[in-house]
Structure 1
Amino acid sequence: MAKEFLKTHDKFFANRPLTAVGKYIGYNFKDLILSLYGSYWRHVRKLYVVELLNTKRIDSFRCTQEEEMLLAIHSVWEMSRQGEKLVNLTNLFSSFMQAVMWRILFDTKFFSHSHAKVGGNGLDGFARRVAAAEKAIQILHDIFLAGVETTSTTIEWAMSEILGNPGVAKKMQEEIESVVGRERTVCERDIGSLQYMQCVVKETLRLYPVLPLIFPHESTKDCTVGGYFIWAIGRDPSFGKILGIQATEIYGQK
């Protein structure tokens, strides 16, 4: 059933309904997730795929991610040195991802007092190539929020499960020591060799999906799914005949 909705008839259900969220929070439906399916949506999606999420672009941020990770680990060590016995993981992971995403987008430190000028080496340079300023703001807004909230929440759930399952933590530690060793920290190129860690991440995503409910879809064309006939957004005037009434009898218009 899901395959028919999201693949076979994907084009018919790709549209989004008009909502207050899309209008007021999504910059009048400029948001990629909440925008209506059409030429604008295809254009913005192309910008994401070609300009933002290509392999070369993602690889260019690897050093930034690893540097901020080491700073986050060092902050835990510093708190421990000062006598702190408890660490707020929620704040730690959120601050870590905010720092990473801010540097990627604006090429400056998250807690820096310097102004993040447009035109640096980060994705702010990409913003100059977007035609409308409002569109650029929405794209950068989407990337920042999506990158921070989803990742930090997933890491927090993973840590809570690992802390509650010492056996899992021990297996992960043993795998890291055998693959990476104790002389350096884990980096992105090690992930392919850490099979058990990959299983832990996938199990976390299965148990605690960041978005358990997908955003609403709106049908734009009649089709049949799973043997059920679905008419476009319930606007088929002939359906009233089945109920023994005419559509115009209730609202005065079709």
Structure 2
Amino acid sequence: MFCITSIIYASIIVLVVYVFYKLDTRYPNGLPPGPTPWPIVGNLPHLGPIPHHSLATLATQYGPLMHLRFGFVNVVVAASASVAKQFLKDHDAKFSSRPPSSGGKHIAYNYQDLVFAPYGPRWRMLRKICSVHLFSNKALDDFVHVRQEEVAILTRTLFGAGQSPVKLGQLLSICTTNALARVTIGIRVVGNGSRGGDPKADVVNDMVVELIQLAGEFNIGDFIPVLDWLDLQGVAGKMKKLHKRFDSFLNSILEEHKSGKIGEMGHVQLLSILISLKDDADGKGQKLSDVEIKALLLNLFVAGTDTSYTTVEWAIAELIRHPELLKQAQEEMDTVVGRDRLVTESDLNQLTFLQAIVKENFRLHPPAPLSLPRIASESCEVNGYTISKGSTLLVNVWAIARDPDMWTDPLEFRPDRFLSGGEKPDADVRGNDFEVIPFGAGRRICAGMSLGLRMVQLLTATLVQAFDWELANGLEPENLNMEEAYGLGLRRAEPLMVHPRPRLAPYVYKSG
């Protein structure tokens, strides 16, 4: 009986989906080219295990502006700098909102955050709060000491590793998470061996990693709404469970902060400011709720930690594979900074070659290889093709930065392309030069870009200055696995296991 009932229900669902599909397949004329969609699921099977790779391959066949069909949703993919510029600059106002998604609904407090919130007054309020109180130059300067202290702790930990190999990404994650936590909520939240932290919050990093993976899933229910309740991939269920864990952690932080149990003396953390703004966040009667505060903190913990440490992990991996570049960067460091102290943020502007390394690393290994989707609020025309209202936009940042029409030897790690005499000496990664847009561009550009740049530059500079690097288990650099694991962020398929070899006097590590 159970089997017969299941078959009947399945048959009804398939019939309903088919009818909806047939009613919803009236495409507007003048669409960009793209692969033929499958029945019902559309082009979802074309995405493969690593979507930004699959979409880049499709772009070589169909061009830099493609149309796809994900279930019932029209999707356009930009895979060149010129096409991305049209969407994110010329038509930016029409692509400033997000489409409905499981992540926004089940993780981000039903779109009450900054990342998934629809474009409008509340989003602008949240963006302004972050821009003024966390990511302005003044705010960043006020907390220079926090970033440098956490990087110094990381350096001492690596110095004390001895002959034991370390999982570099894990230690980088601890550093970036605690640096951000001290600025936002006033405490270190991740343990670091004997240096500790808040023991009950050691699971923060695991939650962040899981969220990045889940948020990168293409959930069938997002594209075929009549199947959403079935949760065929189990994505929604996992998101709900993860949300409960994150919410419990954030509730405990709020309660302890309100009771005065946490917070560093002498500096006002972002959480204190958010709580003070609850009554009138923007001075115009727009109040900030506890849910919005938690949603904003969730964004900061996820976007402000994972992207930074994975980017630095990729950079060190590239320098290990190119020892001549590591040596050149160390020579610059010895000349500009010397060997009797650790590099500081005030040194970074003088480190021309180090900055070129960081840019080249952002080019080859962008933190978000496939941009967070946007939705068209109006129809428009791009490259002579019709982009209909309601279409979802994906920008393949990874493909754009490897475009052979824009870059010489695009798969090679060549920092000199960003130096004087190189092919892109004036290229900027802040969203103005669309050949390399690791933080996105336009109104929805990453709010934490300035903080991310500072943290990535400081961490990379410190690891270059303070250590030589050897791979664990006698692995030769040319055999290092550089494959990617897909998620919302660009993670390594295999963690980087290394032996850090100190190259400065012992007192420098102890005094840093």
User: Which TM-score applies when normalising by structure 2?
Assistant: 0.44
Among 23, 35, 39, the residue aligned to 2:121: 39
- CA distance in 2 between counterparts of 1:113 and 1:53 reads 25
Which residue in the other structure is 2:332 paired with? 175
**AA matched with 1:126:** I
Q: 1:112 to 1:93 in 2, by over 3 A?
A: closer
Cα distance in 1 for residues equivalent to 2:348 and 2:368: 24
DSSP 3-state at the match of 1:209:
coil
- Corresponding residue number in structure 2 for 1:165: 322
More strand by share: 2
Q: How does 1:137-216 map to 2 (within 5 A)?
A: 137-216=294-373
**Residue equivalent to 1:109:** 188
> 1:48 is matched with which residue?
130
- Residue type matched to 1:95 in 2? I
Q: Which runs of 4+ in 1 moved over 4 A?
A: 113-116
Structure 2 residues without counterparts, runs of 5 or longer: 1-82, 190-195, 200-252, 279-287, 392-512
CA distance in 1, matches of 2:198, 2:349: 38
Deviations 1:165-212 (A, max 9, x none): 110111011001000011111000100000000000000000000101
Percentage of identical aligned residues: 34
What letter is aligned with 1:139? L
Q: How does 1:1-254 map to 2 (within 5 A)?
A: 1-80=83-162, 84-110=163-189, 111-113=196-198, 117-118=257-258, 120=263, 121-128=268-275, 129-130=277-278, 131-233=288-390
Tell me, in whole angstroms, the C-alpha distance in 1 between the residues paired with 2:112 and 2:362: 29
Deviation at 1:104, TM superposition (A): 1.1
The residue identity in structure 2 corresponding to 1:143 is L
- Alpha-carbon deviation of 1:90? 1.4
CA deviation after TM superposition for structure 1 residue 215, in Å:
1.2
In structure 1, runs of 5+ residues without a counterpart are 235-254
Letter in 2 for 1:14: S
C-alpha contact 2:132 2:139 (8 A) present in aligned 1: no
Distance 1:205 1:220, change over 3 A: same
Shift of 1:109: 2.9
Quote the Cα distance in structure 2 between the aligned partners of 1:17 and 1:109.
35
- Distance in 1 separating the partners of 2:300 and 2:143: 14
SS in 1 for 2:386: strand
Deviates more, 1:45-54 or 1:10-19: 45-54
CA deviations over 1:128-154 (Å, ceiling 9, x no partner): 124200000111111111111010000
Contact (CA 8 Å) 2:337, 2:343: kept in 1 or not? yes
SS in 2 for 1:79: coil
Equivalent-residue separation in structure 1 for 2:388 and 2:366 (angstroms): 31
The Cα shift of 1:93 comes to 0.6
Residues 377 and 389, structure 2, Cα contact 8 Å, conserved in 1: yes
Structure (1 or 2) with the greater helix fraction: 1
Question: CA–CA distance in 2 between the matches of 1:19 and 1:68?
Answer: 35
Q: 2:113, 2:295 within 8 Å by CA — same for their partners in 1?
A: yes
* Structure 1 residue 113, shift from structure 2 partner: 4.3
Q: Normalising to structure 1: TM-score of the pair?
A: 0.86
Deviations 1:51-74 (A, max 9, x none): 221111111110011111111111
Query: 2:146·2:183 contact (CA, 8 Å) conserved in 1?
Result: yes
Alpha-carbon distance in structure 2 between the residues aligned to 1:217 and 1:109: 34
CA distance in 2, matches of 1:71, 1:230: 51
Which stretch shows the higher mean deviation, 154-163 or 26-35? Answer: 26-35
Cα drift, residue 39 of structure 1: 1.8
- Matched residue type, 1:229: T
State the distance in 1 between where 2:117 and 2:143 align. Answer: 28
CA distance in 1, matches of 2:317, 2:159: 20
Which residue identity lines up with residue 38 of structure 1 in the other structure?
Answer: G
